[in-house]
Amino acid sequence: MGIDTAIKCSVFIATSLDGFIARQDGSIDWLTGSGSPENSEDYGYQEFFDSIDTLVMGRSTYEQVLTFGEWPYGDKKTVVLSSSRLQVPEHVKGKVEEMAGEPELVVRQLAERGARHLYIDGGKTIQGFLRAGLIDELTITTLPILIGEGIPLFSSLDGDVKLEHLNTRSFESGYVQSQYRVLR
């Protein structure tokens, strides 16, 4: 089952120093509580976001994003992976599409529709795409905070995933951002 190699799958995510992307309940309050509040640095997020054409996230991530009030992704095509019917509020209708299926199927269907660069977001979704060998690049920003327990970025894999370090940057806020290419 050949996947279109012209499509790129990237991760851009923040973790606590102990490797969690959210608290057990999905809360990410610790993200805004870290670093200096007056710091408006976006850590390269906007440049990354402008490079993608489709955002793919899991249902839990989608439901967490809905609690933000305003939809943070503008009109960027957003695909939510869910095996059950999704509630789509009026303010995101036409911006969100529901899909189900294994990562390979999702990537193939999106490639057939012309997608070329996917932003993969959400713990289980990232883990599933990694296990399927579909992630091409990871940008991980580590915040100087320990939250003790939560939802981990990584879980069990079928084997080692070898990475090539592309770069690491540190910021005055204490954030450290590393970018990796997945080697195949």
What is residue 5's predicted lDDT score, i.e. its pLDDT? 59
148 closest CA partner among 33, 22, 36, 61: 22
* CB neighbour list of residue 99: distance below 8 Å, 6 or more residues apart: 79, 80, 81, 82, 106, 109
Q: Model's pTM, two decimal places? A: 0.91
Contact by Cβ (8 Å): 4, 111: yes
What is residue 37's predicted lDDT score, i.e. its pLDDT? 47
CATH architecture of the domain formed by 8-182 = 3-Layer(aba) Sandwich (3.40)
**How many alpha carbons fall within 13 Å on the CB side of residue 167?**
3
Domains in the chain: boundaries:
8-182
Q: Are strands 151-152 and 20-22 parallel, antiparallel or unpaired?
A: antiparallel
Contact by Cβ (8 Å): 78, 55: yes
Q: Rounded CA gap, 2 and 17, in Å?
A: 37
Mean pLDDT by 10 residues, the chain (184 residues): 73 97 92 59 94 96 90 94 89 92 96 97 95 97 96 90 97 96 94
